[in-house]
Amino acid sequence: MSAVFLNPRVSKRPPPLSDQLRARVLDLRRSHSLSRVAALTALPLGTVKTICSRSGAFRDNEQHRALFTLPPIKLSTNTGVSVPELPPRKVVTGDKEIDAVLWLHSVIRTGQADLISKAMEAAKRIKTPLKELEKRYRDHIVRTNPNNMFAALSTFGFCDLEDMAKSAVEKMVRQKEAHARFGDDVFGFTPAEQFCEDTLVDVGLCKNGWSLDAKQVDSRFGAHPALRPHTLADCLHELSYWSELFTLRYAFGTAAGDPGMSVQARDDYTFRLLAKIRARTPTEAVTVLRHMAKHELMDREETNDILLNLIGGRANACLGGGTDVT
């Protein structure tokens, strides 16, 4: 008899796990706890932990983050000093006070903080209340545009100089940042946008006719696991990338900054993953909640499933969802 069988300390090694079983463990882990995965697969808990840990599928995906990250800000090499110039004064209505305010509007639209500061000081010297000037300006617009029923709408906000100034400065800051990151190619396709276009090149429309079919979208992006968010933090990283990218483009006030259908489909796909990827810690779950509240995402179709996912399996099981209790 072999010595192996005579020595009680020697035991047979367990057979190697198949790739299919490893894949099933990872798939189950996305919606179940480690202990539940072990029970469902009849594997030791330690084996399940090892498979999940070695896969890297539940750590932040650095390859994904590299693609969905804005290029770094590059300092300008231009050493010249540009002095902003005040816009010329113009006679628009013939009413000196109204024209003075309209000139202040043109100064504010430059986005130059120094000029705007001077404009706001100049506004304090106007004796007539701005609300009264707004009414006089509206009367002038209506009088000179008798057949335009919407002309008066252009006068609303006439006296909101502080809000106008704040918005103009923020817009200029975003424009400068966009140029610092992208140079003159602010509207050129980023690698992330190109990835979306290439992946969804022939995906059909859904029934509403204005968005891509969600099932096809999920299947296509799912076929690129290396660029799939692994964690909720990855999802928020990507969602923030899209938000920041188009915020910079919108600063130029052009419809060319609107996301295309493939990019919108990717954004929706990533948002749906918030309902499928388990939070690693309570802090991560809270971060997702705060992100959704900040960006007013609480009324989306997927929100209920996301909240149940963040609350955890115990609550979902009570509601009949079937997600793991532990």
Residue type at 272 in one-letter notation: R
| pLDDT score at 255 | 66
- What distance separates the 2 farthest-apart alpha carbons in the chain? 114
Query: For 35-64, b where at least 16 C-beta lie within 10 A, e where not — what string?
Result: ebbbbebebeeebbbebbeeeebbeebeeb
- Residues 73-86 have pLDDT tens digits of 987 665 555 667 88
- Residues 285-300 have pLDDT tens digits of 999 999 999 999 999 9
- Residues 161-215 have pLDDT tens digits of 999 999 999 999 999 999 999 998 999 999 999 999 999 999 988 877 788 999 9
The distance from CA 246 to its chain's CA centroid, rounded to whole angstroms, is 9
| pLDDT score at 12 | 60
The full length of the chain comes to 326
Q: Please classify residue 278 by burial: count the beta carbons closer than 10 Å to its beta carbon, then call 0-12 exposed, 13-18 middle and 19+ buried.
A: buried
In Å, how far are 61, 135, 276 from 214, measured between CA atoms?
A: 23, 50, 15
The distance from CA 301 to its chain's CA centroid, rounded to whole angstroms, is 17
Provide DSSP, 213-266. -HHHHHHHHHT-GGGS--SHHHHHHHHHHHHHHHHHHHTT--GGGS--HHHHHH
In Å, how far are 63, 198, 271, 297 from 206, measured between CA atoms?
A: 30, 19, 18, 22
Domain extents for the chain? 9-52, 53-74+184-318, 96-172
| pLDDT score at 82 | 63
Of 112-116, 278-282, 312-316, least confident by mean pLDDT is 312-316
Distance, in Å, from the CA atom of 323 to the CA atom of 326, rounded to the nearest integer, reads 9
Task: Work out whether the CA dihedral 188, 192, 193, 197 comes out positive or negative.
Answer: positive
Computed over every residue of the chain, the mean pLDDT equals 85
Distance, in Å, from the CA atom of 292 to the CA atom of 296, rounded to the nearest integer, reads 6
